[in-house]
Amino acid sequence: MATSAARRIVLASTSKYRKSLLDRFGLAFETASPETDETALPDESPTATAERLALAKARAVRSRFPDALIIGSDQVAHLDGQVFGKPGTTDAAIGQLTRMSGRTVVFDTALCLLDAASGEYCVETVPTRVRFRELVDDEIRRYVDIERPLDCAGSAKSEGLGITLLEALSGDDPTALVGLPLIALARMLRASGVCLP
Residues labelled catalytic: 74
Q: Cα(158)–Cα(161) distance, rounded to whole angstroms?
A: 7
CA 196-128-169 angle, 5° bins = 105
| 32 Cβ neighbours under 8 A, 6+ residues apart | 10, 11, 12, 14, 61, 64, 65
